[in-house]
Amino acid sequence: MAAGPDTARRWAIELAMLTAMGLLLGFLGPFGAEHMTSARRYGYWMICVVGSGLIGIGLDWLLARRVPGTWRRVVLVSALMTPLAVLLVMTAAVVIFGDRYSWTNLWKLLPQSLPIALAMMAVRALAWRPRPHRVETRTIVEPPLPQAEAAFRKRLSARRRGARLIAVEAHDHYLKVHTDAGEELITLRFADALDELAKVHGWRVHRSWWVAAEAVEGVRWRRGAGEVRLAGGLEAPVSRTYAPVLKGAGWF
C-alpha cells in the first residue's frame, strides 16, 4: 500500500472506527464479560476488536482485486478472519484471565465471533462506500449549416430569406413557413419540403409539422399527445407517431 497523506488519513479513520467498536463492546460487556472489572473488560475487548479488525483489513486488501463485489467480499473476509480472530481472542483470554487453550472454547467462540466479524466488516464497507456521482446532461443543438437550408430559403421572399427558420406547417395546398421575421405562405408540397430540409437539424413532429431543432424551447406530453413550444411563442402539435424523435433527443 502506497504511503501518503490519504493512506495515513484512511488508517487513522480505520483505527478510530475499530477503537469506537472496542469501547462499545467494552461498555456492553457481552458474553459474560459484564462480570469483569472495567479495566480488564475494556482492555480485553480493545485487543479483540482492534486486533481482529486489522486481520480483516489485511484480508480485505489481499482479496480486493480477486473479489470485486463489496458485499461478497464482506461475507468472505468475515468467514476467513473468524478463525484467526478466535485464536486472538483465546490468546487475549489466556494472557488477561489466565485461561487455557481448549477445543471446547474454540468451538464455543466460532459462532460468537462470526456475527461480530460480519458487523465490523459491514460497518467498514458502509463507511468506505463510494459516494454517488451526480451527472448532469444537456442537449446541445448545433445551428444548421447555411448550405443545408439554401435550396429551401430561395423559395422565401427577400425579407425572410435570411431570417431564423422556426417551423414549417402544411396548410392546405400551401406551406406556412414560420420565421423570426414573420410567417409566409409558399407553394410547395410538404413531402418536397421535407426532402429539401433533410440535412437541416430539425424534426418532423406531426403529419403536417416540421420544426427546427434550435427553435425548440420545451416539450409537453400528456394523455397520448404532446406540444412543442417554439421560439417566439409558437406551439406545434406532437403526434404519437413522431414523438420518439423528440424522446431520442432528450426532450422527455
Per-residue pLDDT reduced to its tens digit, 191-231: 999 999 988 889 999 999 999 999 999 888 877 778 999 99
Q: Model confidence at 143, in pLDDT bands (50, 70, 90)?
A: low
pLDDT at residue 33 greater than cutoff 80:
no
**HSE value, Cβ hemisphere, 13 Å, CA-based, for 53:** 23
**CB 201, CB 143: distance < 8 Å:** yes
**CB 203, CB 215: distance < 8 Å:** no
Q: What mean pLDDT is predicted for residues 24-38?
A: 70
pTM: 0.44
- Identify the CA nearest to 197 among candidates 172, 215, 223: 215
